[in-house]
Structures are given as structure tokens and as C-alpha cells.
Amino acid sequence: MSGPRQIAVVGAGPSGLFSAQALLKAVPGAVIDVIEKLPVPHGLIRYGVAPDHQGTKAVTRQFERLFERDGVAFHGNVEIGREVSLSALLGLYDAVVLAAGLSVDRRLGVPGETLAGVITSGALTRWINSHPSEGATPPALGRNVVVVGAGNVALDIARLLAKTPDEFSGSDFDPTRAAALDACGIETIDVVGRGSASACRFDPALIKEMAHLACARVEVHGDLDADAPAEAAARLTALKVIHGAGPADARRVVRFRFGCTPEEIIGDAAGAVEAVRFRSADGAILSLPASSIVTAIGFGCESRARLIDAASLPAGDGAGALPHRIGERLFAVGWFRGGAVGTIPEARRDAKLLADAVAAAPATAEPMPAARAGRAGLLARIAAAGVTPVSYAHWKHIEAAETAAAPPGRARLKLCSTSDMIVHVHRAA
């Protein structure tokens, strides 16, 4: 093979961009293309991280050097499997890294799950973050919201639902959407986990944020003094700290409950949620009134399987982790590889392991008379597909428009449809 190695990274979220960073070091001279189905980069950071956590979202600044100084190219509005097949991509590049994340929420697997008012945390989080796949209409949450889950996503959902519009100052939460959320009239938010309080996966720092809600009272139900592993001590301490926090005349009450497994979602005559029944470890039944239920139990691997199956490659066991190298020139990283677990720092560590795997793999196992087409071949296929590709320069134009449109008290006002984003691409041309 002649020329530098041509590497495509599918997905411009944290795993994909950390991978591009690590590959620049592990494979000197590599030509790297980042391909993203949305017109904008940053994936989970832009559309998954809570809008009131701007400090976490600031990690995107470190990726600017990739595109501005290191020669990595961004190709937005290009979906692998739509404009370009995965098999075709493998024909163009010496290595293809799948960093597309996971997008399908896991199901509870209980009767009544299809009733109106059962909402996935993925859909709700995307709506809050103005993702193009979600319309402007707010979800119908109603007075009594039950959040099923005991991880940081469930905790984020509870905090966001408990806040008033004024508490989102400095965020990038669209004020219109914040007002619509407040208008749902939420009175109670029950966060229910299957395991004990010591087994929950809440980050202690996120737990403590619940003590600072302006108009919500917090209650923690469960044994917070039980023997627990050392790593659970900080979580239990934080839960004790927030119990009873909040004003006496609070508009909303947030209740944490543990050791309860969902058994059935109960609907009314119109087919809408009205209650949910749980069973505790000792067999006791807990029935909670519910105008809506938000499931926050992670993501399944259906989207991963569909993409890999299209290239006639093994998809692993469906739910567990894949190796970093899953084919002759095909690699996986982040949530796409290991399932929907792990924080942004863990994504960085996994990207380093991915880059090492790419560097250690043979450049090609087949005789090649010349270098693969790489970027030139990709651009030719995009042009043939008739879509408008979005470059990094285009993205910076979109970003500038969002920042300029920011109302008072907001970091930006996101463009919330692909068509609106493409309008700005054409303006920048």
C-alpha cells in the first residue's frame, strides 16, 4: 500500500472525536475523516448532556484543534447506510471506526408499556436538547411523573423536571421549551430504582445538586444506614444530605424510592397511563399514581446490530461488549462497542485503546496496487447521493448563528431542524 493510512470515524460524538485525537498520535500521518449523520458534531455532548451542565459541554472546545489545525475533516449530514453503505466505506478506507453510539431505549418489558404517557428518557432528553428528531410539541407529562431508573440519566431527568424556567439561566435550554415544560403542571416526581439505595448508580455530586432546587422539596425513602460497599458510602451520604431539602411551600416534590421492581403500568378507559405498580424485595406492592412514566434504564443494541448486519459481520451477543477490532479493517468504540455505559472520561480511555488496536492491526490483509480512495472517494459518493454535506467551516457558521440568536440568560439558541441548519450552510457557501 502506498501513501498514508486512510481512516474513517463514523460518529462525531465524544467517542468518535476522542478516537480521532488518539488516532492522530497512534497512527502518525493518518488522514482521518469524521462522518456524522446530523449536520452538527458533538453528539451526546450536544444532545444528551443536560442543558444546565454547561461545564460538561465545554469539553467540545478541545476538539476544535482536530479540525482547525490537525487536518481532520468533518462530513456532516451524511448517514452510513443511507448515503454510503458500510461495505462501500470499507472499500474506501484502510480502517473504519464505528463510534455511532446507541439510540434505542431499552424496554421495561411489563404490561401496559405501550400506553399513552410512557416516555423514554432518550426521547425526553432529545426534546429538552432541541434534537432535530423531536418536534417542538412538549411531551404530555401531567401532574404525577414516575421516573423508572437509578442511574445519572434518571437523576438528570428528575432535576430538570423539578426546576423552574428561571433556574435555567446560563444554560442552552430553549426558553420556549423551558416554559412549556413548566406549564405541564408537574407536582410530584417519583424516582424509583430496582435495587437498594446503596446499589444505585447516582453520582454523589449530581445527588447534591438536588438540594439546591428553588421550588422543590426532596424526600428519600429507603434504608440509608444499611451496610454497603465503600464505593457506595458517598452516595448514601449524599442521599442523607438531600433528604428534606427544599422550601416548605414547594411547588413540586421529588421522592426517591429504592428496591421496587415495576410489574404493571395501569391505564384508564382512554388508554392513557394513570398508575404504575411495583413489587419490593419482600413482596410488598407499591402503587403510584402516574400521569406519565419516564423510563431511564439504558439503551439497547438494535441500532448497532442493524448497521453491522448490513455489512454481513457478526454483531456480538446483541447486548454485551464487542472487541475493539470486529473485522479485518472494521473497529468499534464507545457505547457502540461496549453498550450504553460509561462517562465522558471513560470514553476518552476507550478511544486510546481503540487507537492502539488500529495501530497494531495490519494496514491491509489483501494486496493493493495503490492507496485506497479515502476522502476523495467519500466526497464523490456523497455528491452522487445528492445530499448537502456539512463541513467543519459550515458547522462554525451554524454555531455562530446559534450564539448570536441566544436570548438573555442563554448560552445559545439551537437550530432545531436539519432544514434550518442546511439553510445556514447555503448562506455560508
Question: What is the separation, in whole angstroms, between the first and last Cα of the chain?
Answer: 36
Helices (H), 48-203: 54-57, 64-68, 86-92, 121-128, 152-162, 175-182
User: If you average pLDDT over residues 77-106, what whole number do you get?
Assistant: 93
Q: pLDDT tier at 1 (50, 70, 90 boundaries)? A: very low
At 364 the pLDDT is: 53
Residues for the chain: how many in total?
429
At 85 the pLDDT is: 92
At 367 the pLDDT is: 47
At 363 the pLDDT is: 59
User: If you average pLDDT over residues 86-100, what whole number do you get?
Assistant: 95
* Fold classification of 6-103+300-428 (topology level): Rossmann fold (3.40.50)
For 276-297, how does the pLDDT look when each residue is reduced to its tens digit (9 = 90+)? 999 998 899 999 999 999 999 9
For 321-354, how does the pLDDT look when each residue is reduced to its tens digit (9 = 90+)? 889 999 889 999 999 998 877 789 999 999 999 9
- 369 pLDDT higher than 50: no
At 424 the pLDDT is: 86
User: If you average pLDDT over residues 192-221, what whole number do you get?
Assistant: 96
Q: pLDDT tier at 2 (50, 70, 90 boundaries)? A: low
Least confident of 48-57, 188-197, 313-322: 313-322
Domain segments of the chain: what residues?
6-103+300-428, 107-297
CA–CA gap between residue 391 and residue 35 (Å, rounded): 10
At 317 the pLDDT is: 46
Q: pLDDT tier at 108 (50, 70, 90 boundaries)? A: very high
At 104 the pLDDT is: 85
Prediction pTM value: 0.93
Using an 8 Å Cβ cutoff, are 32 and 23 in contact? yes
For 219-233, how does the pLDDT look when each residue is reduced to its tens digit (9 = 90+)? 999 889 877 788 899
Using an 8 Å Cβ cutoff, are 219 and 211 in contact? no
At 362 the pLDDT is: 75
User: If you average pLDDT over residues 227-252, what whole number do you get?
Assistant: 92
Mean pLDDT over the full length of the chain: 92
Per CATH, domain 107-297 is 3.50.50.60? yes
- Tell me the sheet residues that pair with 260: 280
Grid cell for residue 144: 404525577
The angle at the Cα of 182, spanning 263 to 184, to the nearest 5 degrees, equals 50
